[in-house]
Amino acid sequence: MTDPTSVAAVRALARASRLLERASGELNLAHYRVLSAIASGDERASWVAARLALGKPTISAAVDSLSQRGLITRTPTAEDQRVAVLRLTAKGRAALDGVETEMVARLQDLLARTPGGENLLDSLVWLGKAIDDRLAGKRHQFAEKNRSGR
């Protein structure tokens, strides 16, 4: 049987995700994640896909939509015209900043209602790092598998 405390934690994370999505206003959560990955330095769609563990079609659709809305630009690289560098526009930066301001306000409200809220905030940051580490490990395994031809 699954640990009830772990189940309660998973359910809380799912509800927190929904609360943050409601705070994202004009952006859906998937578009927010793409914008935040680009703002964090992931300049290519393949890097964004790897960081977010999303498929190429999902990333392509998000990049197309964000580009059409004027939130990002796509510029071909000099080395390979098939590869585009992704950058936030001023409008994209403003949208990201606005959404994150609202999300942080909602998170701070929840933390204020939680015993040890500051510790929880630190734990959430560590959780994000653990997710990144897990994804990096999976990418490494995938790359090794492809190199060996298995």
Helix (H, G, I), strand (E, B) or coil at 72: strand
pLDDT value at residue 138: 67
pLDDT > 90? residue 47? no
pLDDT > 60? residue 17? yes
Which candidate, 107, 116, 88, places its Cα nearest to that of 32? 88
pLDDT value at residue 148: 63
pLDDT > 90? residue 70? yes
pLDDT in tens, 1-16: 689 999 999 999 999 9
* pTM, 2 dp: 0.80
Q: Interhelix angle for 45-52 vs 29-39, to 10°?
A: 120
pLDDT in tens, 111-148: 999 999 999 999 999 998 998 888 777 666 655 665 66
| Residues 35, 71 contacting (CB under 8 angstroms) | yes
Average pLDDT of the chain? Answer: 88
How confident is the model over 83-91, as a mean pLDDT? 92
The DSSP H or E segment spanning 71 is none
The dihedral over CA atoms of 124, 97, 20, 122, expressed in degrees to the nearest 10, equals 10
Q: 24-30: which pairs have CB atoms within 8 A and are 24 or more residues apart?
A: 24/99, 24/102, 24/103, 25/98, 25/99, 25/102, 26/95, 26/99, 27/95, 27/99, 30/54, 30/58, 30/62
Model confidence band, residue 51 (pLDDT cutoffs 50, 70, 90) = confident
pLDDT value at residue 144: 65
